[in-house]
Amino acid sequence: MKVLVVGNGGREHALAWKIKQSPLVDRLYAAKGNAGIWQIAEKVNISPTDIPALVEFAKKEKIDLTIVGPEQPLSEGIADAFEEAGLKIFGHRKSSAILEASKVFAKNFMKKYGIPTAFYETFDNENDAINFIRAKGAPIVIKADGLAAGKGVIIANTIEEAEKAVKEMFAGKFGNASKRIVIEEFLEGEEASYIAMVKGEQLVPMATSQDHKRVFDNDQGPNTGGMGAYSPAPIVDKKIEQQILEKIMYPTLKGMKKEGRELCGFLYAGLMIGPKGINVLEFNVRMGDPETQPIMRRLESDLVEHILDILDGKIDKVSPKWSGKYSVGVVMASGGYPEKYEKGFEITGIEEAEKDKDVIVFHAGTDIKDGRLITAGGRVLTITAIGETLKEAKEKAYNAVGKIKFKNAHYRKDIADKGISRLGE
Ligand code: AMP
Ligand code: GLY
């Protein structure tokens, strides 16, 4: 069969890498992909958000299955358009993707269905927002309503910082995405990512994982899309997983169905686990990036077969097989990300890094220019490694990172440390 992957990031490279291994797949296409994806898939020179062109391509090429990586095309209706054209696609409709596309919707939805989340208010003007901040004090969290590539959330440690964030957002820092904002209580604890494949009221959990949102070590600096992840995440033990399923995942599926916004695709709950229990920070209607990279390294069964079964109404028989090993992914980013950064620098050392058979380098912002591999985005690569222990996986990943060079490369040195100390390794 012919499969199309939509997206350009490290997540899509990891998905494409896994899909390529499926015996069901004869031809793999990527729109638009990156330099790593083009080594294993045929490049389709269409932007992930050019939905009419993607539909036309899929019809013409008779694509049997399309898998969508990022949120933007989902929130712009790619699944609706493919379905209308009679094309098979794994990804939520626009009416469901709002669970990620609007934080105001997501917070109101959680409140309505009793899904645990931080106390909040929503605002559409500066004065009310600032009065609320002065009444509540700091630390406090300011969130742009709309999509902002993981950067529209400010954790303000002082009232001054919070007021500055509010002013910038209403001045249009994130365009329409920050015309409305959510201000919420700061929650203490440790984060985890809980991802499942879902359809209607049913789900199949993926392996657990933990991301590292802040740009610098020890969770310092601004939020990013994610600087590294590992799987499994020992913070999510069996008991906690049961609670996540009972109190968060299933009520979300039921609630969304009740709202006439039935889900079909990947569902990601970003969680804070701490003194106030397990709370949802956000929902994503897709897999995480970089969580997908270490998760896919541990998936031993056939992702394409699982997705086809789910779409065919046979979710009951879907039972993914996970490796018992640990997996770590370290993001190498362009220095300056998530703010301003330069690109176009040559990348070397990937072949050397992959000489360790446990290492795979997934590309994100990469391109080819004059036959050379160059940086082309904020997050450039995710270096993944598998190990018998989490510590071993971390060591292998960083050993590989040390072999890869590009100008101004930045990466965190503490990816997986929380898990390693929890495991006592
Ligand atoms: P979100 O996009 O809503 O998940 O927010 C991005 C990141 O900001 C999260 O992954 C957390 O690291 C942090 N964050 C968001 N909301 C809160 C909160 N209420 N308390 C503490 N940290 C938060
Ligand atoms: N890594 C977090 C996200 O994909 O939103």
Q: In terms of domains, do 204 and 159 share one?
A: no
Q: Which of 121, 282, 286 best tests ligand 1's pocket when mutated (most atoms within 8 Å of CB)?
A: 282
Tens-place pLDDT, residues 228-284: 999 999 999 999 999 999 999 999 999 999 999 999 999 999 999 999 999 999 999
Beta strands in 114-207 (DSSP E): 120-123, 140-144, 153-156, 181-185, 190-199, 202-205
Q: In this structure, is residue 396 part of a structural domain?
A: yes
**Surface-to-core class of residue 143, CB atoms within 10 Å of its CB (0-12 exposed, 13-18 middle, 19+ buried):** buried
Kindly state whether residue 127 falls inside one of the protein's structural domains: yes
Q: Looking at 317, 346, 361, which one is the last position of a domain?
A: 317
pLDDT, mean over the chain: 96
pTM to 2 decimal places:
0.96
Task: Decide: helix, strand or coil at residue 178.
Answer: helix
Tell me the C-alpha distance between 50 and 32, whole Å.
Answer: 10
Look at residue 177 in the predicted model and tell me its pLDDT: 76
Q: Which tokens sit at 224?
A: 């990013």
pLDDT digit string, tens, across residues 403-412: 999 999 999 9
Cα separation of 89 and 63, whole Å? 10
Angle at 379 between CA 77 and CA 36, to 5 degrees: 80
- 167 and 240 housed in the same domain: no
Residues 247 and 277 in one domain: yes
> Is 285 part of any domain?
yes
Query: Is the predicted pLDDT of residue 149 greater than 80, yes or no?
Result: no
Using one digit for the tens of pLDDT, what is the confidence trace for 70-129?
999 999 999 999 999 999 999 999 999 999 999 999 999 999 999 999 999 999 999 899
Tokens of 197: 């494949």
Q: In this structure, are 391 and 300 located in the same domain?
A: no
- Whether 117 lines ligand 1, by a CB cut-off of 6 Å, is no
Tell me the average pLDDT across 49-60: 98
Residue 398 lies in a domain: yes
Residue length, the chain?
425
Return d(Cα 146, Cα 212) in angstroms, integer. Answer: 22
Distance from chain centroid for Cα 308: 22
Residue 141, ligand 1, Cβ within 6 A: yes
- Structure-block tokens of residue 330: 């370290």
Residues 266 and 365 in one domain: no
Q: Is the pLDDT of residue 167 over 80?
A: yes
CA distance 278 to 239: 12
223 touches ligand 2 (CB under 6 Å): no
Query: With 80 as the cut, is the pLDDT of residue 51 above it?
Result: yes
pLDDT tens string 280-296? 999 999 999 999 999 99
Residue 150 reports pLDDT greater than 80: no
CA dist 219 and 158 (Å) reads 17
The answer as to whether 110 is a domain residue is: no
Within a domain: residue 360? yes
Ligand 2: centre distance to CA 50 (Å): 23
Domain count, the chain: 4
Helix (H) or strand (E) holding 81: helix 78-84
Residue at a domain's end among 93, 127, 147: 93
Q: Does 296 lie in the same domain as 194?
A: yes
**Predicted confidence (pLDDT) at residue 23 exceeds the cutoff of 90:** yes
| Residue 239 one-letter amino acid | K
Ligand nearest to the CA of 182: 1
283 and 205 fall within a common domain: yes
Answer for the pair 408, 334: CB distance below 8 angstroms, yes or no.
yes
Q: State what percent of residues in the chain have pLDDT above 90.
A: 93
Which residue has a Cα nearest atom 2 of ligand 2? 288
361 has which bridge partners? 383
Please compute the mean of the pLDDT values over residues 132-150 and round it to a whole number: 89
What is the number of other CB atoms lying within 10 angstroms of the CB of residue 41? 23
CATH number at residue 145: 3.30.1490.20
Q: What is the domain extent for residue 58?
A: 2-93
Q: What is the pLDDT of residue 262?
A: 98
Residue 417 sits in a domain of what CATH number?
A: 3.90.600.10
